[in-house]
Chain A
Amino acid sequence: MQHMIAIEDALHRVWLSRDAQGYVLHLGAQQWPVALDGTALRVAGAASPVTIAVDGDRVYVHIDGAAHELVYQSPIAFHAAEAGGPAEDMVRAPMPGSVIATPVTAGDSVAAGDTLIVIESMKLETAVKAPRDGVVETVNFAVGQSFERDALLVTLASQEG
């Protein structure tokens, strides 16, 4: 599996491997010998001066008179998002408690991570969040109502085709 790097919003699959001479750049099915000698990037023998600045998963590369922003994409996050996230439609209570807020109602669109319902349990306030993007189908408890562990709190509209 190759690394995924976004350059100006286009995704590229790349990998750097070793061989007897040095490094080989894989881009999809193509390969080139590459080397970084001081400030010169050498690709298949042709050298260009290059300036590189790294900031976490972002790399800024200045080469051939232009600056590019490269963003490393985690393959786990990429493939999870590509498949539309977990298929789970039912959001259940992680522990027994009572409802203290219901910020969404049936029909609302939510994004993964949005708060669906806020519960109080064991002296803690817990925001129960959307496991994926979707539309709320039902909110099964009102503020003040209590429930047992694994109670069905919120249902998202099924994505099954």
Chain B
Amino acid sequence: MARITSQIDTGSDSFLANAAHNRGLAEELRRRQQDARFKRPQRDLDRLARQDKMFLRDRLEALLDPGTPFLELSTLAANMAYDGDVPGAGQMSGIGIVSGREVIIHADDASVKGGAWYPLSVKKIIRTLDIAIENRLPVIHLCDSAGGFLPLQRDLFADRYYAGRIFRNQSILSKMGVPQLSVVLGHCTAGGAYIPALSDYSVIVRGTGAIFLGGPPLVKAATGEEVTVEELGGADMHTSVSGTADYPAASEAHAFAIAREIVGQWTVADKTGIDWIEPEEPYYDPQELYGILPRDSRTVFDMRELIARIADGSRFHEYQPAYGTTLICGYARIWGYKVGILANNGVLFNDSSLKGAHFIQLCDKNRTPLLFLQNITGFMVGKEYERRGISKDGAKLIMAVSGASVPKFTINCNGAFGAGVYGMSGRAFDPRFMFTWPGAGTSVMGAEQAANVLSDIKIRQLAREGRSLSEEEIAAIREPVLEDYKREQSAYYATSELWDDGILDPVDTRNALGICISAALNAPIEQPHYGVFRL
């Protein structure tokens, strides 16, 4: 495969200005991630110490194989919700190696509101288990939760993708033969009790771990019975009397030693074989990504320059290089794995949509996972394009994206606006993993256009009532809309709401994809089959 020849002048003013801007965004991301992981009110850390509990990050150290990669997901979930008081939505999710096996870890963070489940906590746990189901990844639950956050119970209890889905997903994993282990490090109350109960294996720490449907105060209120935590649901009771938990542990360190040995008993599943060769670092320095991404997301740039800094050896075999040129399609390798890349170099026209749909089917037949690099402002609009059938050609691309059997991975590199997102494997199209770069926006249309559309509607409404507006009055309508839109289309908002699996520093993209592709290959790939393409 030929190496991409970069056209970038790394000494140009615009490159240097872009680099300064995007490095700033990456630094801000790292600072916010660091805070979400470690910054806690002192009283919460003191409480953990008093309870003789380890901090979540120390628990991870004790559980994981040293010196192995760990990909944390949705670190900044809930960063723009609940007044910013619930970092990470009070949950940690990530893919790592335990006793030589690839696993996904879900952990309650007891240093955040006692590990209480907020609506976004529930969404994050369900997403973690959806990843486990889609990729057949064994799960380790680190349980330490106060239970559902009652003031917001209506947003976390009853609906299809609310708390019950956690336990449904656990049951489905078991049915699929994907093992789960719970380490009970704190209380598992009410619904939370089902996490260890539905796991194949569970370890419980004496003195701090407990499992019960109703805690001592609730039991007292309900029946008048007075009972201690240890009697009601402690380690010795559950491991010697009820059989709800399997292994008693004398301390958290002891529990993690037992947990690691249990995981060591799990048979390592054969991975799905796809085309792989020895990996090669990109020829062009990934640090140059900072200088390529524009300061203003509306500035056009060539996505081949990004591919050159993500793909092994910067090598790329471009498919149909002269046709439908606003959608770049072609083969490359990431950490040695062959992938088919679709990347936007402009709006989607009829020809680019057809090219994309065709290329997806080629990759599917070829057993080649798909990587979507989004920089999309939509499908082309207008009389000419509708007459050529832009809607039905877009439908073909969406049909291909939805139907593809090979794993899909999506990165929003610069922007994901409008219906084009559907054709580029947005969140709703079940990419196995989806990440956003710090400067990339997500919304049904750009902020400027949305503000104009909404203020136009208002102006016309008032005009019908015979009123006209001054420049200032128009600005007064337009500005708040623009502000709201900008806030809600930011990468931080998208990740806060779990529209993705996390924000990535662009230079970390290749490593993250390597872990994701490896994880995805734990699941078999179905034979290609599709719905009806409107020809």
The answer to whether residues A85 and B250 also contact, given A1-B256, A17-B68, A26-B67 and a CB cut-off of 8 A, is yes
Q: Is the CB of B63 within 8 A of A1?
A: yes
Q: Mark B58-92, 1 if CB is under 8 A from A, else 0.
A: 00011111111000000000000000000000000
Please tell me which one of the listed residues B63, B64, B258 contacts residue A76 in the complex, with CB atoms under 8 A apart.
Answer: B258
Residues of chain B contacted by A43 (CB below 8 angstroms): none
Considering the complex, give the chain B residue whose CB is closest to the CB of A16: B67
A132 and B61 alpha carbons, distance in the complex (Å): 29
Q: Is the CB of B66 within 8 A of A15?
A: yes
Q: Is the CB of A26 within 8 A of B66?
A: yes
Q: Mark A3-33, 1 if CB is under 8 A from B, else 0.
A: 0000000000001011100001010000100
Say if the beta carbon of B254 comes within 8 Å of chain A. yes
The answer to whether residues A86 and B250 also contact, given A1-B256, A78-B257 and a CB cut-off of 8 A, is yes
Considering the complex, give the chain A residue whose CB is closest to the CB of B205: A83
What interface size band does chain A fall in?
Answer: 20 to 34
Q: Mark A72-86, 1 if CB is under 8 A from B, else 0.
A: 001110111011111
A31 and B253 alpha carbons, distance in the complex (Å): 22
Considering the complex, give the chain B residue whose CB is closest to the CB of A84: B250
Q: Is the CB of A79 within 8 A of B253?
A: yes
Say if the beta carbon of B251 comes within 8 Å of chain A. yes
Please tell me which one of the listed residues B65, B248, B258 contacts residue A86 in the complex, with CB atoms under 8 A apart.
Answer: B248
Residues of chain B contacted by A78 (CB below 8 angstroms): 257
Q: Is the CB of A79 within 8 A of B254?
A: yes
Considering the complex, give the chain B residue whose CB is closest to the CB of A83: B250
Please tell me which one of the listed residues B61, B65, B206, B260 contacts residue A17 in the complex, with CB atoms under 8 A apart.
Answer: B65
Question: A139 to nearest B CB, angstroms?
Answer: 21
Q: Is the CB of A1 within 8 A of B260?
A: yes
Residues of chain B contacted by A87 (CB below 8 angstroms): 206-207, 236, 250
Q: Is the CB of A82 within 8 A of B248?
A: no
Please tell me which one of the listed residues B250, B256, B261 contacts residue A80 in the complex, with CB atoms under 8 A apart.
Answer: B250
Considering the complex, give the chain A residue whose CB is closest to the CB of B281: A20
Q: Mark A127-160, 1 if CB is under 8 A from B, else 0.
A: 0000000000000000000000000000000000
Say if the beta carbon of A108 comes within 8 Å of chain B. no
Question: B488 to nearest A CB, angstroms?
Answer: 42
A74 and B63 alpha carbons, distance in the complex (Å): 15
Please tell me which one of the listed residues A26, A75, A86 contacts residue B260 in the complex, with CB atoms under 8 A apart.
Answer: A75
Question: A74 to nearest B CB, angstroms?
Answer: 8
A24 and B61 alpha carbons, distance in the complex (Å): 17
Say if the beta carbon of A125 comes within 8 Å of chain B. no
The answer to whether residues A17 and B254 also contact, given A76-B261, A86-B248, A88-B236 and a CB cut-off of 8 A, is no
Question: B197 to nearest A CB, angstroms?
Answer: 22
Residues of chain B contacted by A86 (CB below 8 angstroms): 206, 236, 248, 250
Interface centre among A18, A82, A86 (most CB of B within 10 A): A86
Question: B2 to nearest A CB, angstroms?
Answer: 25
Q: Is the CB of A24 within 8 A of B67?
A: yes
Question: A149 to nearest B CB, angstroms?
Answer: 13
Residues of chain B contacted by A48 (CB below 8 angstroms): none
Q: Mark B246-284, 1 if CB is under 8 A from A, else 0.
A: 001111011011101100000000000000000000000
Residues of chain B contacted by A85 (CB below 8 angstroms): 250
Please tell me which one of the listed residues B236, B249, B251, B257 contacts residue A1 in the complex, with CB atoms under 8 A apart.
Answer: B257
Question: B268 to nearest A CB, angstroms?
Answer: 16
Say if the beta carbon of A2 comes within 8 Å of chain B. yes
A24 and B65 alpha carbons, distance in the complex (Å): 13
A82 and B252 alpha carbons, distance in the complex (Å): 11
A76 and B261 alpha carbons, distance in the complex (Å): 8
A31 and B66 alpha carbons, distance in the complex (Å): 11
Q: Is the CB of B261 within 8 A of A83?
A: no
Interface centre among B206, B254, B258 (most CB of A within 10 A): B254
Residues of chain B contacted by A79 (CB below 8 angstroms): 249-251, 253-254, 257
The answer to whether residues A80 and B206 also contact, given A1-B260, A15-B66, A17-B67 and a CB cut-off of 8 A, is no
A118 and B408 alpha carbons, distance in the complex (Å): 64
Q: Is the CB of A83 within 8 A of B254?
A: yes
Question: A42 to nearest B CB, angstroms?
Answer: 18
Question: A157 to nearest B CB, angstroms?
Answer: 18
Q: Mark B278-298, 1 if CB is under 8 A from A, else 0.
A: 000000000000000000000
Considering the complex, give the chain B residue whose CB is closest to the CB of A15: B66
Considering the complex, give the chain B residue whose CB is closest to the CB of A19: B67
Give the residues from 100 to 144 in chain A that come closer than 8 angstroms, CB to CB, to chain B: none
Considering the complex, give the chain B residue whose CB is closest to the CB of A90: B236
Question: B98 to nearest A CB, angstroms?
Answer: 9
A112 and B258 alpha carbons, distance in the complex (Å): 20
Residues of chain A contacted by B66 (CB below 8 angstroms): 1-2, 15, 17, 26
A159 and B251 alpha carbons, distance in the complex (Å): 16
Residues of chain A contacted by B64 (CB below 8 angstroms): 1
Residues of chain A contacted by B61 (CB below 8 angstroms): 1
Considering the complex, give the chain B residue whose CB is closest to the CB of A132: B250
Residues of chain A contacted by B68 (CB below 8 angstroms): 17
A85 and B248 alpha carbons, distance in the complex (Å): 10
Residues of chain A contacted by B250 (CB below 8 angstroms): 79-80, 82-87
A2 and B63 alpha carbons, distance in the complex (Å): 9
Interface centre among A1, A15, A17, A74 (most CB of B within 10 A): A1
Residues of chain A contacted by B65 (CB below 8 angstroms): 15, 17
Residues of chain A contacted by B249 (CB below 8 angstroms): 79-80
A79 and B68 alpha carbons, distance in the complex (Å): 23
Q: Is the CB of A83 within 8 A of B67?
A: no
Question: B234 to nearest A CB, angstroms?
Answer: 10
Residues of chain B contacted by A1 (CB below 8 angstroms): 61-64, 66, 253, 256-257, 260
Ranked nearest first, the 10 interchain pairs of A and B with the lowest CB-CB distance are A17-B67, A83-B250, A79-B254, A75-B257, A15-B66, A83-B251, A79-B253, A76-B257, A1-B62, A79-B257
Other A-B pairs beyond A24-B67, A75-B260, A76-B254, 14, CB < 8 Å: A1-B62, A1-B66, A1-B256, A15-B65, A19-B67, A75-B253, A75-B257, A75-B261, A76-B258, A76-B261, A79-B249, A79-B250, A82-B253, A82-B254
Contacts A/B (CB < 8 Å), 23 sampled: A1-B62, A1-B66, A1-B260, A24-B67, A26-B67, A75-B253, A75-B257, A75-B261, A79-B249, A79-B254, A79-B257, A80-B249, A80-B250, A82-B250, A82-B251, A82-B254, A83-B250, A83-B251, A83-B253, A84-B250, A86-B206, A87-B206, A87-B207
